[in-house]
Amino acid sequence: MINARFGTFRGLVRLALSYPQLALGQSATLRTSPAEVHRLVFVCQGNICRSAFADVVARKAGARTASFGLSTTTGRPAHDPAIAAAQALGHDLSAHKALDRTDYQPQPGDLLLAMEVRQLHRLAADPRLSHLPRQLLGTWTQPMMPHLHDPYGLDDRYMAYCLQRIEQAVTALIRTYPGATPS
């Protein structure tokens, strides 16, 4: 059950720790008004599973989007199991190419959406990105799941579950930030 729902025991522990970090204001979240958001920017470690999938889902729904990885190689394709899991959910990740943080070009109105608290801290520590609003994508899931553990190399059941959670979060997120969807 742990491998299918949380990826690993470590994923479960990080999820459990993320709730108090969020509640106590220790998540490095930087909020903004929904009216100020014009583009949703999804962030994870490698930009080949979670953020890549969130980007595709949001773009398919008509949102202005971008995505990047905190530590990746620009141009790297999406992870094959992520492509397969996305396809099962009706999304195509086959054309995705990863973008490294250093190649990401911030724009006014960007909202950074990370998958983990520690990623928010890395964004807050980056002088080029620290001024941008940032939040956890998992706060839009029901029930709230602030830590969306990296499915790379893990059980296929967890890959599917993780991407389903991301799809749910993106759907709710778009309703919250209508300025990211051109009229």
List active site positions: 44, 50, 150
69 within 8 A of 51, measured Cβ to Cβ? yes
Both structure tokens of 93:
């990740």
Does the CA dihedral 137-141-146-147 come out positive or negative?
Answer: negative
User: In angstroms, what CA-CA distances link 125 with 53, 103, 128, 131, 132?
Assistant: 25, 17, 9, 10, 11
Q: What is the DSSP letter of 75?
A: T
List for the chain the helix, strand, coil content (%; round to 5): 45, 15, 40
The answer, yes or no, to whether the previous bond of 143 is cis (omega within 30 of 0) is yes
